[in-house]
Structures are given as structure tokens and as C-alpha cells.
Amino acid sequence: MNDRVALVTGGSRGIGRAVATRLASDGFSVVVGYAGNADKAASVVAEISSAGRNAIAARADVADETAVTAMFDLAEQTYGGLDVVVHAAGIVGLAPLADMDLAVLDRVVRTNLRGTFVVDQQAVRRVRRGGAIINLSSSIVGLAFPAYGAYAATKGGVEALTLILARELRGRDVTVNAVAPGPTATDLFLKGKDEEAVARLAAQPPLERLGTPHDVAEVVAFLAGPAGRWVNGQVLRVNGGIV
């Protein structure tokens, strides 16, 4: 896969960073998409480059179609094409429905749902035959934790879009799937949670631990590689067995 190219949005931290470095280890040239933290994106590029692989950073607001188009243009201009797009960028806004600030709701919908549509639209137009489009959803769609209404609603939309897109690409030899992590030990997830809350969440899966970004990246790498070619139009719950 040394001539294959992957673009990873949200690639500067958390799950996106783990995916970017994992795909690079499989031989992909990687475009590290990021929203605002250039230093973190640069550190991912440096890590990949130090391992002898190719990587560049590209800044884009995923809900801005002009910026996303420019990011995809940069990928093609630099590496000649695109084979895999992993859309990992997203934000969380937590509050009970009755208390949710509608301005926060609008931001969550804009980034998570519109952002997925904008990125996937470019991916559909650019990904070469034999490629893959992989969206990040969340197991919260099924777990239905209180205060996650806005976030879960957008991720439910991501799953619907993923399944429809897989069918729209009939005949293209491009797979489209979603990966839906459960509670995962990222800075975004751990922010604002005390030790008791983290321990309670870690105890829920039969495997009795939180997921790690590496756990999720392994599943994404499977879907992006030759072993995952017969998996299409699916949502994979990567959560250690939480019901």
C-alpha cells in the first residue's frame, strides 16, 4: 500500500491522530486535516515523517465547503490522488435537552452533521476505485446517555448518511462504513469527568476498561486495507461489548 493516500480529518489529536499514524505505518501517505491547532498537526506530521513515511498537514473547517475543497485539492496536488478518507473531526456539546443552548446545538450540528456531508461529498468525487470512506460515529447513538442529545442526534445522522452513501456508490468499488467508538480515553472524552465518573464508564464493558484511540485506529485500518474490502454499508460498534 506504499502508493496509497489517506486523508484524515481531526487528525491532530485523539482518535484522528491514532488513525493517521496507524495508516502511515501501513504505508499510506497521509494528509493530516486539522481545524485550529497547527502545532499539534505539525507534531503528527513530524512523528510520521520520522518513521520514514510521507505526511502533510492541511487546515480546514470541515463544514466550510471552500476550505474542504482546498484540502482535497492539496492532497491530490501533493500525492496524485486519494484512496481513503477518514472523517474523524467532531465536537461535543453536553446538556439536557431542556437546558441546551441552541447556539451550541447549531455548532454541534454544523460541525458533526454538515461537516460529514461536506467531507463525504468531496470524498465521493475524489476517492479512486478500490478506496474507502470511513466516518466516525459514536456508540452513544445506542447507549442514549442523558445530556448527549445533541451529539447523539448528529451521530445518528452520520450513520444514516453512511448507509445511504454506500448504496449510492454502487459500481464504484468504493466502500463506505462508519466506526462507532464507545467511551474512549481521549482528552475530549475525559474533560470535565471526575475519577468516579471515569471508573463507572470503564466498568460498563465486559472487558472492564475504557477504549483507547489505538483500539479504534486498528478497526479503521482494517476497513481501509485489503482485508476489509467485503465490509460495506456497515456501522461497527467499537466499544468492548457495551449493550
Helix (H) or strand (E) segment spanning residue 97: none
Domain spans, the chain: 5-184+213-237
Cell 445506542 sits on residue? 142
Residue 119: pLDDT over 80: yes
What is the rounded average pLDDT for all residues in the chain?
95
| 34, 79, 148, 151: the active-site residue | 151
C-beta of residue 220 within 8 angstroms of C-beta of residue 22: yes
- Name residue 139's beta-bridge partners: none
- Residue-wise pLDDT for 17-59, tens only, equals 999 999 999 999 999 999 999 999 999 999 999 999 999 999 9
Cell of 193: 469527568
Query: How many percent of the chain have pLDDT more than 90?
Result: 88
The reported pTM is 0.95
Q: Which residue has the higher pLDDT, 3 or 39?
A: 39
Judge residue 163's burial from the number of C-beta atoms within 10 Å of its C-beta, 0-12 exposed, 13-18 middle, 19 or more buried: middle
Q: Is 148 a catalytic residue?
A: no
Cell of 184: 474512549
Q: What are the C-alpha distances in Å from 173 to residues 80, 161, 224, 226, 231?
A: 19, 18, 13, 12, 12
CATH number corresponding to 5-184+213-237: 3.40.50.720
Position 31, amino acid: V
- Rounded to an integer, what distance in angstroms lies between the CA atom of residue 120 and that of residue 124? 6
